[in-house]
Amino acid sequence: MTLCLVLLGFIGFVEKKTQEKTFQQLEIDLEAVSGLYFVEEKEILKVIHTDFPDLNPGLAIADVPLAALEKRLLGHPFIKEAQATLEQKGIVKISVKQHEPIARIARPTKADGYITTEGLIIPTSPTYTSRVLILQGDYMDRMLDEGDLSQMPDLFPLVQYITGDEFWNSQITALEISRPDDIRLHQQVGGQVIEFGDAQDFESKFKRIEILYREILPRKGWNAYQRISVKFKNQIVCE
C-alpha cells in the first residue's frame, strides 16, 4: 500500500514537472481604454493562432517564441504594448495595452482615423467608437492619407491642450483645418465658428476666448455676433 502511494505521488510529481516544461495554454490580460476595447481578446487569439500554428498544448516551453509573439502583436495598429511571460503550470500570459485615441480625423468620403496620446495616426476600430475631439477639413484629410502630423508640428500640442483641459474639452467639439494657418473652432455652446488662425501661441488665444466668454458674451448674448476671431495677435474681433 505504501509503495502504491509512493508510486502515485511520483507519477503526479512527474506529470506536474512535465506540465511545467510544456506549453499548456494562453492567458490574455487586456487593459481597457476608458472602459473600451478597440482590440478584443478573440482578435488577439486569432492573430496568434494564425501566425503561430505550432503553439499548441504540449509544445516544449523552450520552443515558445515569446519575443516573436510580442513583435507580432506590436504590429497591430491598436496595440501600444505587448509583453509575453511564462507563468506557472505552462501558462503563457500575454499582457496587452491599447493605444488611447485623443482625437478623431473625420472625413465624409473616406475612412476616418484616430490620433493617439503619443501623436500617432491609427485607423478607427470596426468594433468601438471613442467620443473624442473631431478634426476635419481638407488639410486633415491630406495628413491622414500621409499618416504623419509632422507637417503641422503645432497641431498636436494644441489638441493636447484642448483635451487636457476639462472646460475646453467639453466646449470645443471640433477643429476645422483647411490650411495650417486657417483653424476654426466649433463650439458646444454658441453658434459661431471661432476663427483661430494657426496653432502658434494657442494659449494666448484661448485666454482671449476666455475673456470673450466671461466678459463680453454674458452682456451681449451668446448669439449676438456672427463672426468671432482671435487669429490676430492681442485682438478679439467680434462682428
Q: What is the pLDDT of residue 105?
A: 95
Residue 19 has pLDDT above 90, yes or no: no
Fold agreement (20-98, 101-238):
no
Separation between Cα atoms, residue 210 and residue 47, nearest integer Å: 49
Q: Could you tell me the strand order of the sheet in which 101-105 lies?
A: 121-123, 113-116, 101-105, 133-136, 172-179, 182-187, 193-197, 228-229, 237-238
Asked whether the beta carbons of 236 and 225 are under 8 A apart, the reply is no
In CATH, which of 3.40.50.150, 3.10.20.310, 3.30.70.100, 3.40.50.300 is domain 20-98?
3.10.20.310
pLDDT at 172 over 70: yes
Distance between start and end Cα atoms, the chain: 100
For the chain, the average pLDDT equals 88
Mean pLDDT, residues 216-236? 85
Its pTM surpasses 0.85 = no
Q: Quick one: which H or E segment has residue 178?
A: strand 172-179
pLDDT band at 2 (very low <50, low <70, confident <90, very high): low
CA neighbours closer than 13 Å in the CB half-sphere of residue 53? 1
- Whether pLDDT at 6 is above 50: no
The 10s digit of each residue's pLDDT in 133-158 is 999 999 999 999 998 898 899 999 99
pLDDT value at position 144?
A: 92
For 26-52, write each residue's pLDDT tens digit.
999 998 887 778 888 999 999 999 999
Which of 6-10, 54-58, 93-97 has the least mean pLDDT? 6-10
Identify which of 157, 167, 101 has the alpha carbon closest to the alpha carbon of residue 134: 101
Q: In Å, what is the CA distance from 158 to each residue of 48, 70, 121, 125, 205?
A: 38, 33, 16, 24, 11
Write the CATH number of the domain with boundaries 101-238.
3.40.50.11690
Domain range list for the chain: 20-98, 101-238
Q: Which of 2-11, 30-39, 210-219 has the lowest mean pLDDT?
A: 2-11
pLDDT average, residue stretch 98-108: 93
